[in-house]
Structure 1
């Protein structure tokens, strides 16, 4: 069990709640259910024809926190998205969320550890890739693509270091 880092350099969280606030599909029938407790954006497509949730609800598009164009208001905004893409190999991650192959993600749902998606989540938290070099004394960690299938102690320390450098922006 890894230390959650609470209190490390004034880290303000003991947990981070996650809520699913929307699904994006080309065709509503794809979901094969009628539950309306979560918003469904059907036919809202980006420039490449991929489905997406309402841009008015995305933090990436509204970093000023103005949710006036979000159909569900502030309570239904999203901070990240997970974009499952048919036939996509590997992954991509950044401040707007993660993009991974649909087949990989759905095929790995029952597994204890995944390696591509957690690596991409690391990018969402601001961590860099380690493709060209490995820090001395380290071998196996998520941000060294393919180096681990779970969060390691070194990954935890990288996030702590990122927070140490960023915290002053938020008054900590």
Structure 2
């Protein structure tokens, strides 16, 4: 992964950062959102950049964390 940091478009780094925010992998068909869900960095091969759907997923995770821990 470190060798790929100098590439113009590295999908691995933003994907792994997504895990840091609590986002899951969507590699298996059964784990993927519905077919009409927009492409995102967490879906294998569907996007090379962070997309609005990734932002939506992060907001969703943070909403659940916020309510659980009363921030």
Which bracket does the TM-score occupy, shorter chain normalised? 0.7 to 0.9
The alignment covers a number of residue pairs equal to 67
Q: What are the Cα deviations for residues 29-70 of structure 1, in whole angstroms up to 9, with x where unaligned?
A: xxxxxxxxxxxxxxxxxxxxxxxxxxxxxxxxxxxxxxxxxx
Output the CA distance in 1 between the equivalents of 2:54 and 2:64.
Answer: 16
Q: Which runs of 4+ in 1 moved over 2 A?
A: none
Pair 1:150 & 2:46 matched: no
Cα shift at 1:145: 2.4
**TM-score by structure 2 length?**
0.80
**TM-score by structure 1 length?**
0.36
The structure whose RCO (Cα within 8 Å, separation 6+) is larger is 2
**Larger proportion of helix:** 2
Q: What residue number does 2:21 align with?
A: 125
**Larger proportion of strand:** 1
Q: Which runs of 5+ in 1 are unaligned?
A: 1-100
